[in-house]
Chains A and B, each alone.
Chain A
């Protein structure tokens, strides 16, 4: 166990360094921020001075080394665009993204699992087929199109829900939450649904496939032969076993939800990290971009580690070390 964790942490550090390097290298090509930092009336010597001040005239290796040293201390400098500490900018945006992702994940699970179970048990029925067909749309339609369609329908057409922003928030320490106000909940519905649809479809299809597989196993036949109730068989035995791979996929996808909320946040002007990142890319705000990518890599690494540890807890075979006498 400890050896396992140690090995994972070593791999994590290597991943973080590689991501930092790749991110930093890629940013040599996104554009020159100096052009945007100075207005059109700046003189040539001002431009040269600013480039020197920002260290952009130093070699790549020196810049990267400097970046790494600061990054380890959590210091990513100032946003070139806003003149604000990058760490503070991201801390401000983090709660919004995490809350959106969490609501989307819960929504996907609460709807995806029951729908998957239903379509497995009622296999071949019209409603089940319809569910499967409609779910294809969830996978096929791009997120921004789903978002815009939902806005047109529920905000412009019906006027039920707001089309942008996060609504009223409540501050608890450094965290600002939109989940403690009605206005906040109204604002989170459309973005969360937009983000959840892909996940929901994935979970539904996964649950259905696993459920069908489990229902064909010998122990289910045996349970049925013993005269157990259908409910007991379906939910007590089949569903529990079905959830093991669902747990894995959901955990890994949570990282995806956080990282790829970018498009949803852009469409809904949701003030999270993803929107901050997109704005940084447009402006070639290198410190913000670097910090964001490193943070996302860190989140993925931690989630992977957590899911693997969870596996130890959930799957008895791993716990016993495969001992068979």
Chain B
């Protein structure tokens, strides 16, 4: 009898323990330097907005932790002919409002990306038609062979046709007409978290989707996202325990956060590659004391600049170790990155001086350099370091660092002789970078960010081949050739991948993705 009572008591205690454990509400508090501008996943092509809305919405294709493709709202896909991709949709998926996900939502979502006000037109411009085969099969026909279509559409999130029609959100917000749009402030996706409360630039809260179609690895029941612009305040909030995860940690505070008893910093390379570009088109530079000719047209000058830049010194003193020098213009994690050719020309001031003499500039020259001061990690200080490096080969840099609001309009007008830019291929594929940065500029969008107008027709041919080649081996070879030619030409001066630096409480376990996305579904926080 005593034994039975003891057993019953033990069972009761066990039940209480289990109940109290499962009843614990795990809240994750995340801070970021910025905020999503909208909750509408089609309104802006921007990393942070994709990251935040990607917790609520999903694409047909998702990304694994190593950024490789994973089944999402589509369970499989196949290129059935050079211009046709077929996607099998996942069954039993529900939007947060209980509406089932079907092929009609896919057709609607892709069509929505082409509407006025959408910033995702470039993702679906090459679609000729999206066809519904049945409720769970769709075909996408493209205007020309499109080998990386699944990579491209991973950022086209699926929206509910019914919900958008009910909430006057059939198209993204149109700023011209001054009409507000429900999708900017509310959300109805299929993702692991649902949007609970939204105060733009103040606070956004998410709650776990109990009806999610897949497994949610993390344990957060609620996520509270807070933008904190001020670096010192954001660090203080982490150190005082008011937030659990913050991004980014300024490089000068990484040590301090790591030394704190309850916090740590996770660092890793980002997908963004920082590089310098030079005007190689004009016969005379706009901002230089060299008249009658353009020194940047001479490959020896470009090589001299390259070898005069102490990239390891910049990594050590400006980036405090938080950067990865690179020879390629794309990062590891981008399809087409090849470590065997990622070898920089050596830092060699004497060799650089000789090249300058050979090129006809024994006494160097003056040139203006344009840089942002609030866009990339330590951007203006990198440029100051470059200026100091180049002074050793008698190049006098007149550095103009300015806010991105005035910087980008200026360089996009090609009103610059020597500039800094960073690039993250939104398709996770090298073609995006090749087409935007390497291609000879035209009015169709090719070479749109090739602001120094580097131009090699052979590279252009390769880019066209890369764009349409469906054989993976051949395609990779074309990419490699294009990179090699560009490196031989020294079309730009590659610098580094800047580092991600995420601060977090030691109670937090998470996966750091190189694209700087922060999926809440992979974050675990201990009580």
Interface residues of A (CB under 8 A from B): 29-44, 46, 53-55, 75, 77-78, 80-85, 89, 92, 148, 151-152, 155-156, 159, 162-166, 266-269, 271, 275-276, 278-279, 281-284
Is the Cβ of A41 less than 8 Å from the Cβ of B123? yes
Note all chain A residues with C-beta closer than 8 A to B229.
Answer: 266, 269, 275, 278-279
A284 in contact with B200 given A39-B119, A156-B236 (CB within 8 Å)? no
Is the Cβ of A162 less than 8 Å from the Cβ of B180? no
Is the Cβ of A82 less than 8 Å from the Cβ of B412? no
State in angstroms the CA–CA spacing of A81 and B230 once bound together: 19
Is the Cβ of B123 less than 8 Å from the Cβ of A163? no
Query: Which of B41-49, B349-357, B519-527 touches A?
Result: B41-49
B261 touches A (CB below 8 Å): no
Note all chain A residues with C-beta closer than 8 A to B122.
Answer: 41-43
B185 touches A (CB below 8 Å): yes
B22 touches A (CB below 8 Å): no
Query: Which of B71-79, B101-109, B239-247, B492-500 touches A?
Result: B239-247
Q: Which residue of A lies closest to B411 (CB)?
A: A35
Is the Cβ of A271 less than 8 Å from the Cβ of B236? no
A282 in contact with B403 given A81-B37, A159-B240 (CB within 8 Å)? yes
Which B177-222 residues have C-beta < 8 A from chain A? 178-181, 184-185, 199-203
Q: Which residue of A lies closest to B43 (CB)?
A: A83
State in angstroms the CA–CA spacing of A323 and B269 once bound together: 80
State in angstroms the CA–CA spacing of A299 and B443 once bound together: 49
State in angstroms the CA–CA spacing of A81 and B175 once bound together: 9
Is the Cβ of B448 less than 8 Å from the Cβ of A43? yes
B2 touches A (CB below 8 Å): no
Is the Cβ of B445 less than 8 Å from the Cβ of A269? no
B453 touches A (CB below 8 Å): no
Interface residues of B (CB under 8 A from A): 37-38, 40, 43-46, 119, 121-123, 125, 173, 175-176, 178-181, 184-185, 199-203, 226-230, 232-234, 236-237, 239-242, 374, 403-406, 408-409, 412, 423, 426, 432, 436, 443-445, 448-449
Is the Cβ of A155 less than 8 Å from the Cβ of B37? no
Is the Cβ of B405 less than 8 Å from the Cβ of A164? no
A-B contact pairs, 28 of them (CB 8 A): A30-B406, A31-B404, A38-B119, A40-B45, A40-B426, A40-B449, A42-B119, A43-B122, A43-B444, A46-B121, A80-B175, A83-B180, A148-B232, A148-B233, A152-B236, A164-B226, A164-B233, A164-B236, A164-B242, A165-B202, A266-B229, A267-B232, A269-B228, A271-B202, A275-B201, A281-B405, A282-B374, A283-B405
Note all chain A residues with C-beta closer than 8 A to B240.
Answer: 155-156, 159, 162-163
A83 in contact with B184 given A31-B409, A41-B123, A164-B242 (CB within 8 Å)? yes
Shortest distance in angstroms between A55's beta carbon and chain B's nearest beta carbon? 8
Having A39-B45, A40-B449, A164-B237, one finds 20 other A-B pairs with CB under 8 Å, namely A38-B119, A40-B426, A41-B432, A42-B122, A43-B445, A44-B443, A44-B448, A75-B178, A78-B179, A82-B38, A82-B184, A84-B200, A92-B199, A148-B233, A151-B236, A155-B237, A163-B242, A164-B234, A165-B226, A281-B405
State in angstroms the CA–CA spacing of A43 and B126 once bound together: 13
State in angstroms the CA–CA spacing of A55 and B177 once bound together: 11
Note all chain A residues with C-beta closer than 8 A to B176.
Answer: 53-55
Is the Cβ of B119 less than 8 Å from the Cβ of A266? no
Q: Which residue of A lies closest to B184 (CB)?
A: A83
State in angstroms the CA–CA spacing of A39 and B44 once bound together: 6
A39 in contact with B175 given A163-B237, A267-B230 (CB within 8 Å)? no
- Of B180, B181, B230, most buried by chain A (CB within 10 Å of CB) is B230
State in angstroms the CA–CA spacing of A32 and B403 once bound together: 11
State in angstroms the CA–CA spacing of A33 and B432 once bound together: 24
Chain B residues touching A, majority SS: loop
Q: Which residue of B lies closest to A34 (CB)?
A: B409
Is the Cβ of A31 less than 8 Å from the Cβ of B175? no
Note all chain B residues with C-beta closer than 8 A to A54.
Answer: 175-176
Is the Cβ of A84 less than 8 Å from the Cβ of B180? yes
Q: Which residue of B lies closest to A155 (CB)?
A: B240
State in angstroms the CA–CA spacing of A282 and B409 once bound together: 14
Note all chain A residues with C-beta closer than 8 A to B239.
Answer: 156
Q: Which residue of B lies closest to A147 (CB)?
A: B233
A35 touches which of B37, B184, B242, B412 (Cβ 8 Å): B412
State in angstroms the CA–CA spacing of A166 and B233 once bound together: 14
Q: Which residue of B lies closest to A46 (CB)?
A: B121
Note all chain B residues with C-beta closer than 8 A to A39.
Answer: 44-46, 119, 426
A269 in contact with B227 given A163-B237, A282-B374 (CB within 8 Å)? yes
A155 in contact with B184 given A46-B121, A163-B242, A275-B201 (CB within 8 Å)? no
Is the Cβ of A162 less than 8 Å from the Cβ of B173? no
State in angstroms the CA–CA spacing of A166 and B432 once bound together: 42
Note all chain B residues with C-beta closer than 8 A to A36.
Answer: 405, 408
Shortest distance in angstroms between B43's beta carbon and chain A's nearest beta carbon? 7
Shortest distance in angstroms between B20's beta carbon and chain A's nearest beta carbon? 25
Note all chain A residues with C-beta closer than 8 A to B123.
Answer: 41
State in angstroms the CA–CA spacing of A318 and B444 once bound together: 73
Is the Cβ of B173 less than 8 Å from the Cβ of A83? yes
3 closest Cβ contacts across the A-B interface?
A39-B45, A31-B405, A32-B409
Shortest distance in angstroms between A219's beta carbon and chain B's nearest beta carbon? 52
Q: Which residue of B lies closest to A89 (CB)?
A: B200
A159 touches which of B203, B241, B443 (Cβ 8 Å): B241
Note all chain B residues with C-beta closer than 8 A to A81.
Answer: 37
Q: Which residue of A lies closest to B426 (CB)?
A: A41
Note all chain B residues with C-beta closer than 8 A to A41.
Answer: 45, 122-123, 426, 432, 436
State in angstroms the CA–CA spacing of A289 and B288 once bound together: 36
Q: Which residue of A lies closest to B232 (CB)?
A: A148
State in angstroms the CA–CA spacing of A320 and B477 once bound together: 94
Note all chain B residues with C-beta closer than 8 A to A278.
Answer: 229
Note all chain B residues with C-beta closer than 8 A to A89.
Answer: 200
Is the Cβ of B405 less than 8 Å from the Cβ of A32? yes
Note all chain A residues with C-beta closer than 8 A to B449.
Answer: 40
Note all chain A residues with C-beta closer than 8 A to B234.
Answer: 164
Shortest distance in angstroms between A186's beta carbon and chain B's nearest beta carbon? 11
B228 touches which of A164, A166, A276, A281 (Cβ 8 Å): A164
State in angstroms the CA–CA spacing of A166 and B403 once bound together: 29
A269 touches which of B173, B233, B432, B448 (Cβ 8 Å): B233
Is the Cβ of B199 less than 8 Å from the Cβ of A271? yes
- Of A39, A165, A279, most buried by chain B (CB within 10 Å of CB) is A39
Note all chain B residues with C-beta closer than 8 A to A32.
Answer: 405-406, 408-409
Note all chain B residues with C-beta closer than 8 A to A155.
Answer: 236-237, 240, 242
Shortest distance in angstroms between B501's beta carbon and chain A's nearest beta carbon? 19
Note all chain A residues with C-beta closer than 8 A to B406.
Answer: 29-32
A53 touches which of B175, B227, B404 (Cβ 8 Å): B175
Shortest distance in angstroms between B395's beta carbon and chain A's nearest beta carbon? 29
A44 in contact with B226 given A148-B232, A163-B237 (CB within 8 Å)? no
Is the Cβ of B403 less than 8 Å from the Cβ of A31? yes
State in angstroms the CA–CA spacing of A284 and B179 once bound together: 20
